[in-house]
Structure 1
Amino acid sequence: MQNSATGSRLANLWDDAKASAMSQSELLLYRSNLLGSDKRITNYGGGNTSAKAMEKDPLTGQMAEVLWVKGSGGDVGTIKMDGFATLYMDKLRTLKDLYRGVEFEDEMVGYLPHCTFNLNPRAASIDTPLHAYVPRKHVDHMHPDAIIAIAASENSKDLTAEIFGADIGWLPWKRPGYELGLWLEKFCLENPSARGVVLESHGLFTWADDAKECYETTVEIINKAIGWFEGKLAGKAAFGGQKVQSLAAEDRRAIAAQLMPAIRGMVSGQQHMAGHFDDSDAVLEFVCARDMEALAALGTSCPDHFLRTKIRPLVVDFDPQNPDVAATLAGLPDAVDAYRRDYTAYYERCKHANSPALRDPNAVVYLVPGVGMITFAKDKATARISGEFYTNAINVMRGASGVSTYCGLPEQEAFDIEYWLLEEAKLQRMPKPKSLAGRVAFVTGGAGGIGSATAERFLKEGACVVLADIDATALAQTAEQLSNRYTSDVVQTVTMDVTSEAAVDAAYANACVAFGGIDILVSNAGIASSAPIEETSLDLWNKNMSILSTGYFLVSRAAFKVMKAQKVGGSIIFIASKNGLAASPGASAYCTAKASEIHLARCLALEGAPDGIRVNVVNPDAVLRGSKIWSGDWLKERAQAYGKDTADLEEHYRQRSLLKRSVLPEDIAEASYFFASENSAKSTGNIINVDAGNVQSFTR
Structure 2
Amino acid sequence: MSVNTIDFKHVSYLWDDAKAAELAGDEVALLIYRSNLLGADLRLTNYGGGNTSCKAMAKDPLTGEEVEVMWIKGSGGDIGTLKKSGLAALYVDRLRSLKNVYRGIEHEDEMVELFNHCIYDLASKAPSIDTPLHGFLPFKHIDHLHPDAAIAIAAAKDGKKITEELFGGTIGWVEWQKPGFDLGLQLKQCLDENPGIRGIMLGSHGLFTWGDTAYESYMNTLEVIEQCAEYLEQNYGKKGPVFGGQKIESLEAEARKAQAVALAPILRGFCSSKTKMIGHFTDDARVLEFTNSNDLGRLAPLGTSCPDHFLRTKISPLVLELEAGEDLSDVAALKARLTPAFEAYRKMYEDYYNTCKHPNSPAIRDANPVVILYPGVGMFTFAKDKQTARVAAEFYINAINVMKGAEAISEYTSLPRQEAFNIEYWLLEEAKLQRMPKPKALSGRIALITGSAGGIGKAIAKKFAEEGAVVVLNDMNAERLAEAGEEFKKLFGKDIYTTAVLDVTKGEDIAGAVAASILAFGGVDLIVNNAGLSISKTIADHTEKDWDLLYDVLVKGQFMITQAAVAVMKKQDIGGDIINIVSKNALVSGPNNAGYGSAKAAQMHLSRLNAAELGVDKIRVNVVNPDAVISDSNIWAGGWAEGRAKAYGITVAELPAYYAKRTLLNEIILPDDIANACFALTGGLLNKSTGNVVNVDGGVAAGFVR
TM over 0.5: yes
- Aligned with 1:145 (options 145, 148, 152): 148
How many Å apart are 1:507 and its aligned residue? Answer: 1.6
Q: Deviations over 1:609-665 (max 9, x none)?
A: 111110000000000001011133111111111121111111111111121110000
In 2, the alpha carbon distance for the partners of 1:158 and 1:192 equals: 19
In 2, the alpha carbon distance for the partners of 1:192 and 1:8 equals: 30
- Aligned with 1:60 (options 60, 63, 67): 63
TM-score (norm 1): 0.98
Contact 1:144–1:203 under 8 Å retained in 2: yes
Contact 1:318–1:325 under 8 Å retained in 2: no
Q: Deviations over 1:362-417 (max 9, x none)?
A: 10000001000000000000000000000000111111111211001111100001
Gaps of 5+ in 1: 1-6
Matched, 1:233 2:236: yes
One-letter amino acid matched to 1:462: G
Q: Deviations over 1:416-437 (max 9, x none)?
A: 0111011111111111110101
2:613 maps to which residue? 607
In 1, the alpha carbon distance for the partners of 2:583 and 2:329 equals: 41
In 2, the alpha carbon distance for the partners of 1:15 and 1:686 equals: 61
How many Å apart are 1:223 and its aligned residue? Answer: 0.6
In 1, the alpha carbon distance for the partners of 2:291 and 2:276 equals: 27
Matched, 1:673 2:676: no
Contact 1:67–1:132 under 8 Å retained in 2: yes
In 1, the alpha carbon distance for the partners of 2:250 and 2:342 equals: 24
2:623 maps to which residue? 617
- Aligned with 1:458 (options 441, 460, 464): 464
1:310 maps to which residue? 314
1:651 maps to which residue? 657
In 2, the alpha carbon distance for the partners of 1:96 and 1:488 equals: 44
How many Å apart are 1:542 and its aligned residue? Answer: 0.8
Q: How does 1:257-276 map to 2 (within 5 A)?
A: 257-276=261-280
In 2, the alpha carbon distance for the partners of 1:439 and 1:257 equals: 17
Matched, 1:93 2:93: no
One-letter amino acid matched to 2:35: S
One-letter amino acid matched to 1:11: S
Matched, 1:343 2:349: yes
Count of residue pairs the alignment pairs up: 694
1:11 maps to which residue? 12
Contact 1:58–1:118 under 8 Å retained in 2: no
Q: Deviations over 1:253-278 (max 9, x none)?
A: 11111211111112213321000001
Q: Deviations over 1:495-551 (max 9, x none)?
A: 111112232122212211110111100000101001111221111111111110000
- Aligned with 2:253 (options 232, 249, 255): 249
How many Å apart are 1:234 and its aligned residue? Answer: 5.2
One-letter amino acid matched to 1:340: R
Contact 2:499–2:516 under 8 Å retained in 1: no
Q: How does 1:480-559 map to 2 (within 5 A)?
A: 480-559=486-565
In 2, the alpha carbon distance for the partners of 1:466 and 1:21 equals: 43
Q: How does 1:374-393 map to 2 (within 5 A)?
A: 374-393=380-399
Q: Deviations over 1:583-613 (max 9, x none)?
A: 1211111001100000000001111111111
Q: Deviations over 1:39-94 (max 9, x none)?
A: 00000000000111100111111111001011000000001001010001111111
In 1, the alpha carbon distance for the partners of 2:329 and 2:187 equals: 52
Q: How does 1:588-599 map to 2 (within 5 A)?
A: 588-599=594-605
Contact 2:259–2:328 under 8 Å retained in 1: no
In 2, the alpha carbon distance for the partners of 1:633 and 1:238 equals: 66
SS at match of 1:77: helix
Contact 1:313–1:364 under 8 Å retained in 2: yes
In 2, the alpha carbon distance for the partners of 1:371 and 1:410 equals: 30
Contact 1:449–1:625 under 8 Å retained in 2: yes
SS at match of 1:423: helix
One-letter amino acid matched to 2:292: C
- Aligned with 1:189 (options 187, 192, 195): 192
2:75 maps to which residue? 72
SS at match of 2:405: helix
- Aligned with 2:178 (options 175, 178, 181): 175
Q: How does 1:335-484 map to 2 (within 5 A)?
A: 335-484=341-490
SS at match of 2:80: coil
Q: CA RMSD in A?
A: 1.2
1:224 maps to which residue? 227
How many Å apart are 1:177 and its aligned residue? Answer: 0.4
1:3 maps to which residue? none
Query: Structure 1 stretch 592-601 or stretch 262-271: which is displaced more?
Result: 262-271
One-letter amino acid matched to 1:10: V
One-letter amino acid matched to 1:266: F
Contact 1:255–1:325 under 8 Å retained in 2: no
Residue 118 and residue 324 in structure 1: after superposition, are their counterparts in 2 closer, same or farther (change >3 A)? closer
How many Å apart are 1:175 and its aligned residue? Answer: 0.8
Contact 2:173–2:190 under 8 Å retained in 1: no
In 2, the alpha carbon distance for the partners of 1:9 and 1:474 equals: 41
Q: Deviations over 1:218-242 (max 9, x none)?
A: 0000111111111111575311111
One-letter amino acid matched to 1:334: P
Contact 1:318–1:328 under 8 Å retained in 2: no
1:42 maps to which residue? 45
In 2, the alpha carbon distance for the partners of 1:629 and 1:323 equals: 43
Contact 2:664–2:699 under 8 Å retained in 1: yes
1:107 maps to which residue? 110
1:20 maps to which residue? 21
Q: Deviations over 1:106-162 (max 9, x none)?
A: 111110001100313410000000000011111100000000000110000111112
Query: Structure 1 stretch 430-439 or stretch 465-474: which is displaced more?
Result: 465-474
How many Å apart are 1:324 and its aligned residue? Answer: 5.0
In 1, the alpha carbon distance for the partners of 2:250 and 2:590 equals: 58
2:3 maps to which residue? none
1:570 maps to which residue? 576
Contact 1:318–1:324 under 8 Å retained in 2: no
Contact 1:575–1:620 under 8 Å retained in 2: yes
In 2, the alpha carbon distance for the partners of 1:100 and 1:325 equals: 61
Gaps of 5+ in 2: 1-7
2:5 maps to which residue? none
How many Å apart are 1:321 and its aligned residue? Answer: 5.5
How many Å apart are 1:293 and its aligned residue? Answer: 2.0
How many Å apart are 1:488 and its aligned residue? Answer: 1.4
Contact 1:263–1:566 under 8 Å retained in 2: yes
SS at match of 1:385: helix
TM-score (norm 2): 0.97
SS at match of 2:81: coil
In 2, the alpha carbon distance for the partners of 1:121 and 1:686 equals: 50
Query: Structure 1 stretch 582-591 or stretch 17-26: which is displaced more?
Result: 17-26
1:295 maps to which residue? 299
SS at match of 2:574: coil
SS at match of 1:574: strand
SS at match of 1:399: helix
One-letter amino acid matched to 2:148: D
One-letter amino acid matched to 2:295: D
- Aligned with 1:285 (options 277, 282, 289): 289
One-letter amino acid matched to 2:705: T
One-letter amino acid matched to 2:357: K
SS at match of 1:166: coil
In 2, the alpha carbon distance for the partners of 1:55 and 1:75 equals: 25
Q: Deviations over 1:324-359 (max 9, x none)?
A: 564544311111111000000000110111111101
